[in-house]
Amino acid sequence: MTDEIRGAGGEKPDAVGEVDLMNWACTVCGYSIEGELPEKCPDCGAAKEDFESVPIPGM
């Protein structure tokens, strides 16, 4: 099994200029966000070090 991200048609994305989106969850309050990791939690103010990556549903 591979962790490669592929497009809807199964093709590999172009490596240049692409950013892999991640889901993040605050370990303090449970707030979750998709995309770029925030500097601090918008709900409780926890530092970005208090976030963990979580699986994207359906992936």
Over the range 31-46, which residues count as b (16 or more CB within 10 Å of their CB) and which as e? bebeeeeeeebeeeeb
Q: Is the pLDDT assigned to residue 59 strictly greater than 80?
A: no
What's the whole-model pTM score? Answer: 0.58
Pick from 35, 39, 28, 29: which is nearest to 54 by CA?
Answer: 35
Q: What is the pLDDT of residues 46-55, one digit of tens each?
A: 999 999 998 8
CATH number belonging to domain 22-54: 2.20.28.10
Q: Where are the domains of the chain?
A: 22-54
Q: What are phi and psi of 5, to 5 degrees?
A: -90, 130
Q: What is the mean pLDDT of residues 18-29?
A: 80
